[in-house]
Amino acid sequence: MDLLVSTEWLAEELGASDLRVVDATQFMPDDPRNALEEYEAGHIPGTVFMDLTNLIDSHNPVPNMLPPPEKFASRMQSLGLGDGSRIVLYDDSPIKSAARAWFMLTMFGAYDVAILDGGLAKWKAEGRPLAQGREMLRHRHFTVWKDDKAVRNKAEMIANMSSGAEEVVDARSSARFTGQERDPRPGVAPGHIPGSRNLPYSELFNADGTYKKGEDLKATFAAAGIDMEKPMVTTCGGGMTAAVVAFGARLLGKKDIALYDGSWAEWGTDPATRKATGAACVA
């Protein structure tokens, strides 16, 4: 599969024995919408629901951190996702949460993972069929694996401020990045990691919710002053939309991409970390 698949492609492939379709919708904590209830009310036929709110390290005080490999593998097996599966992810969320599921699946060893371009909204807009209720698939073995090279921790981010070896790209809104708008979580300082660039994740999408592609996507990264020749680390508020920017860079063929999992939820609450406000200097 390609990294990004169309609704037309998925409609033709539905029912294939090795294909697994996954609703990976998640909302921000202050959003009143309920992802599971919406899935049960209407989803692409054959789709299982991945509960991202519980795919976390529940013992880590930083919110939304990656789960241990064994926990992740167990949850995937229970969803019927396993070795040899082609997995297509979608969401119906403003934060484009399918990208977080893509990041986790690929980091934990899945090889054939794609995102549905335009998500459930495009599928519905085209009048394609929906199913109701909750779907269950037969358990399938998922090999426990974790490749840490795609993840950065706080110590590595601090070291990178001195070395400048990796381009840090912040996926939050410009108001959050500059510090004009404070973080909604209590005790979190405003601003951004010094030296980082700002590329709000929403800028990677067309008006219809599909990803920008080709030259349009390249131009979006260039307008943010991002050097695509350097290794990239993406960050955001809590590790969610950072995955959207990582996925966008991957669409352009970039492979040296990592994600700072603690993101601003960790950095912004530590009084010892340096913080910058105002706009980044765009080269």
154 lies in the same domain as 105:
no
Establish how many alpha carbons lie within 13 A of residue 253's alpha carbon, considering only the half-sphere containing its beta carbon: 4
Token pair 């960050």 is at which residue? 235
Reported as a single tens digit per residue, the pLDDT across 72-106 is: 999 999 999 999 999 999 999 999 999 999 999 99
181 lies in the same domain as 112:
no
Q: How many domains does the chain have?
A: 2
Reported as a single tens digit per residue, the pLDDT across 181-216 is: 988 888 899 999 999 999 999 999 999 999 999 999
pTM for this prediction: 0.97
Reported as a single tens digit per residue, the pLDDT across 244-262 is: 999 999 999 999 999 999 9
CATH value at residue 64: 3.40.250.10
139 lies in the same domain as 199:
no
232 lies in the same domain as 134:
no
123 lies in the same domain as 18:
yes
160 lies in the same domain as 139:
no
Strand partners, 88: 21, 114
Residues annotated as part of the active site: 236
* pLDDT over 90 (residue 147): no
Among 117, 146, 175, give the residue marking a domain's end: 146
pLDDT at 281: 54
Query: Domain range for residue 263?
Result: 149-267
pLDDT at 109: 92
pLDDT at 283: 44
Mean of all residue pLDDT scores within the chain: 96
94 lies in the same domain as 44:
yes
Of 12-26, 141-155, 200-214, the poorest mean pLDDT is in: 141-155
Mean pLDDT for 156-181 is 97
* Residue 272 included in any domain: no
Which band of pLDDT confidence, cut at 50, 70 and 90, is reported for residue 46? very high
